[in-house]
Structure 1
Amino acid sequence: MRLLVINPNISESVTSLIDAEARRAASPGTVVTTRTASSGVAYIETRLESLLAAPAVAEIVAAEGGDADAVLVAAFGDPGMPGLKELVDVPVVGITEAALATASLLGVRFSIVAISERITAWYRDCVDRAGLTSRLASIRSLRDPLRGIGTVQEDFREDLVRLAHDVVEHDGADVVILAGAPLAGMAREVAHRLPVPVVDGISAGVAQVEALVRLAPGTARAGSCARPPAKDNAGLSPALAACLAAPHTTGADR
């Protein structure tokens, strides 16, 4: 199984965290290829920054996604989703939707622990888009400025664990999601310190896409995730233009 993992942030230090956790979570025989966005911001906190990241992610998906068995978009908030599902004929999954789906199977109500206060509004939008707002117990976040995006785990580990305890004790969470690629791998290191299941978006994403590939459910040839109709375009990269020029099929073509 060939898995393409994309960091929508431009931070190579975060890509290293993502790659390490993806490889730990992958099944034997899964080949993980990790890529970093060529444009955008160091880490995404807002809707605008997510919008800026989406074109860079789309470029990587267009260039390499067709050669993979699945694509994982590895930033909480899933920049470019769900539109990226229309681009290639393999499963394209974001770590937010993977984490939310996993948490929903582990408990009734879940909480999200985030790395900044500004990021929480965007995360609420993502939960709402997934139709899971009624199951969201809370979102709690760090309040102090980050010293480095690649060192958040080391700098704020105890604060993050405290927040995880708070959402269980005060907000009624059955499951805790440690949100964001900078926290990749932390869940497996602190799970023994928490009284409820802890979900990591990267490992959840790897497990979910592996399951989708094994299920072989077919591709979207109709519906809202089918490829867009062919039409004139301008200013696109050769890879994106080629994807958009691929034959458009409908249910009648089956």
Structure 2
Amino acid sequence: MRIVVTNCNTTQEMTAEIVRGARTAAGPGTTVTGLTPAWGPESAEGWLDSYLSATAVLDTLRTYREPYDAVVMAGFGEHGREGARELVDVPVVDITEAAAHLACLLGRRYGVVTTLERSCGQIEDSLETAGVGRNCAAVVGTGLGVLDLADTGRTRAAFVTAAERARQAGAEVLVLGCAGMTGLQREVGEKVGLPVVDGVTAAVKLAESLVSLGLTTSRAGSWARPLPKRRVWRGPGERPPTPGR
């Protein structure tokens, strides 16, 4: 089985870290390949970054020519998952949805611990769109930027502090709200005394399950393919199609 994991930013070091986490969850015979957009934000930390990132990730998938069996989108709360499901013929698993769905199997309410406070509203909207928002007790920021997560000692301390706030809000399970936090779940879980779900590893296992079951995206309704005559705007060097043509 071949899974591609798309980073939502252009930082190669973060892609490598995400892939390492994904490979710890992958079963025997599953290969994991990381894709880093050639353009876009260095770190996705807000609405504008997210929309630019979504376009860059979709463009990366559109031009990737190697065969693969599933896509894991490693951008927590980022846009683009619906477009990816319309674009490709294999299962697409977003780490935001994956982590929330697994958290709902472990407790009645979950809390998300993420990076900057300004990301919280975007994550809340993403969870609502995915249909898992009603079980979310709180989305709490650590005050750390995405690229600050390389400082693991500082990240652990900030996560534990934010996790306590989520627990006080009623969370029975915690979710790591950034792909760059992958690998922290066991250590932090022991400190806070709650199950901690990492979206990257959760998404890999769900992607493997969908492929093994022979399931992929429905083409009835929401993610039906566009009409063949529709012309796709291919990038900033091309003019967008005239409406109606």
Contact 1:181 1:202 (8 Å CA) reproduced: yes
Partner residue in 2 for 1:4: 4
CA distance, structure 2, for counterparts of residue 116 and residue 12 of structure 1: 21
Report the 3-state secondary structure (helix = DSSP H, G, I; strand = E; otherwise coil) of the residue aligned with 1:228: coil
Partner residue in 1 for 2:57: 57
Which of 198, 207, 210 matches 2:208? 210
Contact 1:66 1:88 (8 Å CA) reproduced: no
Shift of 1:201: 0.8
Shift of 1:114: 0.8
Q: How does 1:36-185 map to 2 (within 5 A)?
A: 36-64=36-64, 67-143=67-143, 146=145, 148-168=147-167, 170-185=168-183
Structure 1, unpaired ranges of 5+: 238-254
Shift of 1:133: 2.6
Aligned positions, number: 235
CA distance, structure 2, for counterparts of residue 172 and residue 25 of structure 1: 28
Shift of 1:28: 1.0
1:137-157 CA distances to partner (integer Å, 9 max, x unpaired)? 1111123x5494451533321
Identical positions, percent: 38
Letter in 2 for 1:106: L
Letter in 2 for 1:142: T
TM-score by length of 1: 0.86
CA distance, structure 1, for counterparts of residue 20 and residue 228 of structure 2: 39
Partner residue in 2 for 1:247: none
Partner residue in 1 for 2:192: 194
1:88-137 CA distances to partner (integer Å, 9 max, x unpaired)? 11001111011111111111101010111111110111111122232111
Shift of 1:83: 1.7
CA distance, structure 1, for counterparts of residue 3 and residue 123 of structure 2: 25
Shift of 1:234: 5.6
Partner residue in 2 for 1:246: none
TM-score by length of 2: 0.89
CA distance, structure 2, for counterparts of residue 189 and residue 211 of structure 1: 26
Structure 1 runs (4+) deviating above 4 angstroms are none
Q: CA RMSD in A?
A: 1.9
